[in-house]
Structure 1
Amino acid sequence: MQERILAVLVLLVTSVSLTAQVFPQIGRLESTSSDLAEEELGEFNFVRVQFDTYWSGGFGYGPWSIDFPDADMNFLRGVSRLTNIKVEREPIVLRFDDKKIFDYPFLYMLEVGQNGGIVLSPKETKNLREYLLRGGFLLIDDFWGQRQWDNFYAAFSQVFPDREIIELSPDHEIFHVYYDLDGPQMIPALYRSDEFGEQGIDRASNHAILDDFGRVMVLINWNSDMGDGWEHTYHQAYPTRYANNAYRLGINYLMYSMTH
């Protein structure tokens, strides 16, 4: 995990210097069958985490599967179009207790505060801690309000009882590693506004768990829903600016994870 493929780094450097200029405004992506051509398979696999909650299991269509698979597929299309990173065609679903997670430097999960919160087994807790300390990156998306935060905190304090969760300031490099952003962005669900959000929330924030060297291991996208921005890319009722912000943030997080 600590090793980063040199070819990927070259692609990232090229992407930052060229693509950020070519696509200052993302616009509404068009879905075409050639978006993820066979020859483009390569460096990045989108891995979604399947998990259990207190009020329901992780099998079937629990909170872990919200926006799946459209959000995952559209994000892969966006990465393919807006960077020089070659992507896998299909997203992957894994649990934390699966040793395969160590093959992938980037994991995504969402709705961790729903249904009473996420439940982690001892093996999942151990695997996740080891994965992150060995260089892995976990992006947590789409949970809102204090109650869901408390549910999330109860679970992740078991993973890292010795580490604080800090809030990232807008000048943190994760917001500037590829696209130059003003910091966290509130990305609302379909038919909602970024002026109000959900559960009375009117401000998005990004929090993180850091390793001993200051690297972001866990990025917590609180009071924002990038998954909806990806999922509804082609929905005419979903404002393009929200989708744009979702791709910019997601790509910045990805670039950070692959270069740190």
Structure 2
Amino acid sequence: MKQLVIILLIFNFYLAESAYAQEIATLKYGGGGDWYANPTGLPNLIKFCNQQLRTTIAPKPQTVEVGSSNIFQYPFIHMTGHGNIFFSEEEAENLRTYLLAGGFLHIDDNYGMEPYLRKELAKVFPEKELTELGTDHPIFSQQFQFPKGLPKIHEHDGKRPQAFGIFEQNRLILLFTFESDLGDGWEDPEVHNDPQDVRLKALQMGANIISYVFKS
């Protein structure tokens, strides 16, 4: 009887897991930067998307290294942090292949990563540059409307929030959100004590990004 119960529990576990059609991941990179920042952010965004957009994303995001072949399992990868970033030539090539093959990378500057990021992106796409997205880009009008573009979640240096992209044949393959800090807005309320309306804007913009990627 005990063995039957164990078998049923295992079966129910795999049945529950199979209900999720997609998995997304956090990018683990070298250089000493805190790639693991905002630990509650992505799970909260997933929960919001599954509730509001009826997506079927597994509730626990995975972690994938830049140079791993596992990167190709995920249609959407999130990257964040405050400090230094470093890609080896092999890692840069792997990330480039992933993005050109249909993958998507969202990089959210948690504050201070921008100068390091630009240097490493030059290894991934030496022939491309980050281009600022206009407010008419469809990523701002998927499920939720942001007619003024990227919302401001945290002050940082007090600059206006900007969304930059890298494109391949008119397809947005990489999004860099700067001076906004969406990931902080996704975190549990007690982490940063952001007002509910600010957190909602961050989650809605995150949901727009997810929606855009899954529709592309």
Question: What TM-score, normalized by structure 2, do the two folds share?
Answer: 0.86
CA contact (8 A) 2:76 2:106 kept: yes
Aligned residues: CA RMSD: 2.0
1:162 aligns with 2:127: yes
Long gaps (5+) in structure 1: 1-36, 57-61, 189-196
Deviation (angstroms), 1:234: 5.8
Rg larger for = 2
Deviating 4+ runs (over 4 angstroms): none
Alignment partner for residue 51 of structure 2, among 63, 78, 81? Answer: 81
Long gaps (5+) in structure 2: 1-14
CA contact (8 A) 2:17 2:58 kept: no
Residue of structure 1 equivalent to 2:182: 226
Alignment partner for residue 98 of structure 1, among 57, 62, 68? Answer: 68
1:214 aligns with 2:170: yes
CA contact (8 A) 1:105 1:257 kept: yes
Alignment partner for residue 45 of structure 1, among 3, 6, 23? Answer: 23
Note the 1:116-127 alignment, pairs <5 A.
117-127=84-94
- Once the two structures are overlaid, the 10-residue window that deviates more, 150-159 or 227-236, is 227-236
Instruction: Tell me the percent identity.
Output: 28
1:204 aligns with 2:180: no
The 3 A distance-change label for structure 1 pair 234 and 77 is: farther
Deviation (angstroms), 1:137: 0.5
Residue of structure 2 equivalent to 1:252: 208
CA contact (8 A) 1:165 1:207 kept: yes
2-structure distance, mates of 1:139, 1:236: 21
Aligned AA (2:151): Q
Deviation (angstroms), 1:125: 0.6
1-structure distance, mates of 2:41, 2:115: 26
Aligned AA (1:120): F
